[in-house]
Amino acid sequence: MAGLFISFEGVDGVGKSTQAERLRDYLRSRGLNVVLTREPGGTRIGAAIRQILLHGVDGDTDIAPRTEALLYAADRAQHAAHVIRPALDAGDVVISDRYIDSSLAYQAGGRELTPDDIRNLSEWATGGLWPRRTYVLDMDFADSAARLTGEADRLESSGRAFFSRTRQEFLALAQADPERFRVIDASRSIEEVWDDIRRDVDGLVPDASPRPAEMADAASARPGGAR
Ligand code: TYD
């Protein structure tokens, strides 16, 4: 598998989608083929699963914890098989707005499901496909809640304790695997957050061809610039 797999994680409202789009545009401008996708709902089958997960069916939103874990895993299995693996095999960059770590942070830790259960389920669902880099966008509940607009869905209405616990889960996951994770302070401006991500990703794709604008910058900087 020749491509590069990157995921964005964090609680709702931290700006993952904005940064994932920036990253897509940036890497495209550097001449790379980029697939931006998301979970749940990165495939047509997944979109149907997403609808059930976030809104229930005919007013029934009482999803048992094991059902919920299996639905997220089913969405991920379809996503890995039909979107992520084919793109990576073609040498593309895949950016996923949420992936396995969301299941570990949101579904594990209740009374019924252990982190091992969730990890095994997702590994089985994806054939053990993990991202090379995961950006956890991290901020306080008060800040992220203030950013959420529109009608709260089933998960977003679960409240502060749920958010705080989930946030801590993401931080614990990141701490356990510093090689794969980068924790980004998402309470700052979009530009500052993006700057951290761009600097890191430049280290992952060092041989990407420079943009025309950058070549022009470099050329004009050369005469009086440092050696
Ligand atoms: P979404 O509207 O995509 O949230 P966001 O825009 O914040 O990413 O809804 C996804 C919700 O699903 C989100 O609250 C997190 C939750 N989720 C899980 O609980 N487990 C998972 O494995 C995934 C992928 C998402």
pLDDT, tens digit (0-9, with 9 covering 90-100), for 132-159: 999 999 998 777 666 766 555 555 566 7
% of residues, the chain, pLDDT over 90: 74
pLDDT band of residue 223 (cuts 50, 70, 90) is very low
Identify the CA nearest to 164 among candidates 187, 139, 128.
Answer: 139
Evaluate whether 73 touches 40 at the Cβ level (below 8 Å).
no
> What atom in ligand 1 is closest to the CA of residue 72?
22
Question: 164: which 2 tokens?
Answer: 């705080």
Distance 86 CA to ligand 1 centre (A): 23
> What atom in ligand 1 is closest to the CA of residue 13?
7
What's the rounded Cα separation, in Å, for the pair 125 and 72? Answer: 10
Q: Does the beta carbon of 155 sit less than 6 angstroms from any atom of ligand 1?
A: yes
Q: Does the beta carbon of 9 sit less than 6 angstroms from any atom of ligand 1?
A: no
Residue scoring higher pLDDT (210 or 189): 189
pLDDT band of residue 199 (cuts 50, 70, 90) is very high
pLDDT band of residue 13 (cuts 50, 70, 90) is confident
- The residue behind tokens 């614990």 is 172
User: What pLDDT, on the 0 to 100 scale, is given for residue 227?
Assistant: 37
Distance 10 CA to ligand 1 centre (A): 9
Q: Does the beta carbon of 12 sit less than 6 angstroms from any atom of ligand 1?
A: yes
Distance 40 CA to ligand 1 centre (A): 6
Instruction: Please check the confidence at residue 222 and state whether its pLDDT lies above 60.
Output: no
Evaluate whether 133 touches 6 at the Cβ level (below 8 Å).
yes
The residues that bridge with 133 in the sheet, in sequence order, are: 6
Q: Do β-strands 181-185 and 34-38 pair in parallel, antiparallel, or remain unpaired?
A: unpaired
Using CB atoms within 10 A of its CB, is residue 140 exposed (0-12), middle (13-18) or buried (19+)?
Answer: middle
In the predicted model, what is the mean pLDDT of residues 70-78? Answer: 98
The sheet carrying 4-9 orders its strands as: 34-38, 93-97, 4-9, 133-138, 181-185
User: What pLDDT, on the 0 to 100 scale, is given for residue 46?
Assistant: 98
Check whether domain 4-221 has CATH 1.10.645.10, yes or no: no
Exposed e or buried b for every residue in 20-44, given b needs 16+ CB within 10 A? bebbbebbeebebebbbbbbbbbbe
Q: Does the beta carbon of 113 sit less than 6 angstroms from any atom of ligand 1?
A: no
Identify the CA nearest to 29 among candidates 184, 182, 190, 215.
Answer: 215
Q: Does the beta carbon of 98 sit less than 6 angstroms from any atom of ligand 1?
A: yes
Q: Does the beta carbon of 74 sit less than 6 angstroms from any atom of ligand 1?
A: no
User: What pLDDT, on the 0 to 100 scale, is given for residue 226?
Assistant: 39
- Counting ligand 1 atoms within 8 A of each CB, the residue from 37, 98, 134 with the most, and so the one to mutate, is 98
